[in-house]
A = this chain, B = another copy of it.
């Protein structure tokens, strides 16, 4: 098998280079496939972190890509890719554009990463906007795909339609579900409910998605009846994080009775950012994964595993 080449943004994330490099070490120990990591960031800090995590041997096949541009919090985030070309989060994407790597991982700002991915790599065929997708557990054995979970805050109807189609094709490729049930998140099931954008998107999705299942309310998202739930990035982010919050609440009250229940633990694994690692952008012509800002080393290790799987299966990158 060819060595899979990954660009990892070592500068972003809340906990600094040491945690990201620990993640690489953990991935190296856990994964039985050859992969090379291009560590993008400040050389001095990367070298100090490398020493802290036990040095080059434990990191394996890695290379430092020096990146020294600093992003100012006042910069317009969607255009950072044009101005700070030497920022680690942008450099990952240009490496990918140059063909030096197969995929990128960053725990940096979503809007900056999306801007870079969209304008440097371009959209995949037929996609209107990139979208972040996440999986949620359901009452049934299969999870539900939720998109968008934070890339697009204001969506017109055609964007929602495009998300539905991206989700349908993604599940077709990754889970071999030929005609997944695609639903639109709304505050009621009746046609008069919700915004005009949602109503219009519903009309179009009914024509364009063979498995379109109509509107879905928040209280039915986790029943397992839907395979895909489409919404704007604000609602999706709230929904995803509310589930994480509720999971923690249940755990805090139930304690051992929850944590010792294997079924429960298994089902909830996909809700824990440490386990899912990172979520993919769909609609980009390339594999770009967004890790949580607060990623632990285990989250980074799992993000690397997810990126490798995506590259191998061409799950994210294949055109619509």
Interface residues of A, Cβ cutoff 8 Å to B: 73, 77, 137-139, 150, 153-154, 185, 187-188, 190-192, 194-195, 217-223, 231, 233-235, 237-250, 252-254, 257-258, 261, 263-264, 267, 293
Contact = CB atoms under 8 A, between A and B. Distances in A.
Nearest to A195: B153
Contacts of A245: 218-223
Contacts of A258: 250, 254, 257-258
Given A219-B245, A235-B235, A194 B153 contact: yes
A254 B264 contact: yes
**Copies of this chain per assembly:** 2
Given A234-B235, A238-B239, 10 more contacts: A73-B192, A187-B234, A217-B237, A217-B241, A218-B238, A218-B240, A222-B246, A238-B238, A250-B264, A254-B254
25 contacts: A73-B192, A139-B249, A139-B252, A139-B253, A153-B187, A153-B194, A187-B234, A195-B234, A218-B242, A218-B245, A221-B241, A222-B242, A222-B245, A223-B248, A238-B239, A239-B239, A243-B246, A246-B247, A246-B250, A253-B264, A254-B254, A254-B258, A254-B264, A257-B257, A258-B258
Nearest to A267: B253
Contacts of A249: 137-139, 222, 267
Contacts of A222: 242, 245-246, 248-249
A233 B190 CA distance: 17
A234 to B, nearest CB: 6
A185 B252 CA distance: 23
B238 A187 contact: yes
Contacts of A238: 185, 187, 218, 231, 235, 238-239, 242
